Amino acid sequence: MNIADMRKDYAMQSLDLGDVTANPFEQFQIWLKQAIDIQALEPTAMHLATVGKDNRPSARIVLLKGIEAAQLMFYTNYESRKATELALHPYASLTFFWAELERQVRIEGKITQVAPDISTAYFQSRPRESQLGAWASPQSKPIADRDILVKKYAEVSAKFEGEAMIERPANWGGYALSADYFEFWQGRPSRLHDRICYRQAGKVWDITRLAP
């Protein structure tokens, strides 16, 4: 297989300055809804990039779990690698890619932890198995084998057996990204893709077309 010869031409749609809303959060929600409506694979999956203490970037896929008050929210273990890096450098980048629509969205901004009551409300909405998993996994910590996780899961399952509600672990909760940059990308033929970016300028957004 010669991956250098792999090609795909994009020709489904176009994107111009006249096609987008004045508010990037509204534009993002329009595109997200379209991805959900066509049943794109994991439409809320986003590539979260952070920076560690050695100034090296790291990235992983997480799930978008809310858009409130002009913020994008996700949840994780506060002792994970991503959380440790966000504590050092509270800025991050998100990338969404919806191959079925030949679209990508890049979002950058400052990260803060959400209020404990918001984290608790979301935790209580999760399936019981996911709640137990949050208690069982020492996320990002080295473990000898999978049996350790299986044993820990059985222990916490027994601990909370018969309890209607499982409390949220203190080391688990949400983050919110307050965006100051959005970029909407629409694939086009001949690699002449459409790119529209929003940069926050006070209370308004500057909207610009970028070369592909």
pLDDT digits (tens, 9 = 90+) for 38-71: 999 999 999 999 999 899 999 999 999 999 889 9
Range of the domain at 21: 3-210
pLDDT at 88: 96
The C-alpha atoms of residue 212 and residue 210 are separated, in whole angstroms, by 6
Say if CB 145 and CB 85 are below 8 A apart: no
DSSP for 86-99 reads HHHS-EEEEEEEEG
pLDDT in tens, 77-94: 999 999 999 999 999 999
Q: What is the mean pLDDT of the chain?
A: 96
Record the pTM: 0.94
Question: Could you give the CA distance from residue 177 to residue 181 in angstroms, rounded to a whole number?
Answer: 11
Task: Classify each residue of 39-58 as buried b or exposed e, where b means 16 or more C-beta atoms within 10 Å of its C-beta.
Answer: ebeebeebebbbbeeeeeee
User: How many domains does one find in the chain?
Assistant: 1
Residue 120 tokens, joined:
């608790």
The confidence band for 1, taking pLDDT boundaries of 50, 70 and 90, is confident
Helices (H), ranges, the chain: 24-37, 81-88, 116-125, 128-136, 146-159
So which residues are the catalytic ones? 191
**Residue whose pair of structure tokens reads 């059985």 in the numeric block:** 154
Q: Give me the CATH number covering residue 114.
A: 2.30.110.10
pLDDT at 8 > cutoff 90: no
Rounded Cα distance between 204 and 198, Å, is 10
Dist. CA 177–CA 157, nearest whole Å: 33
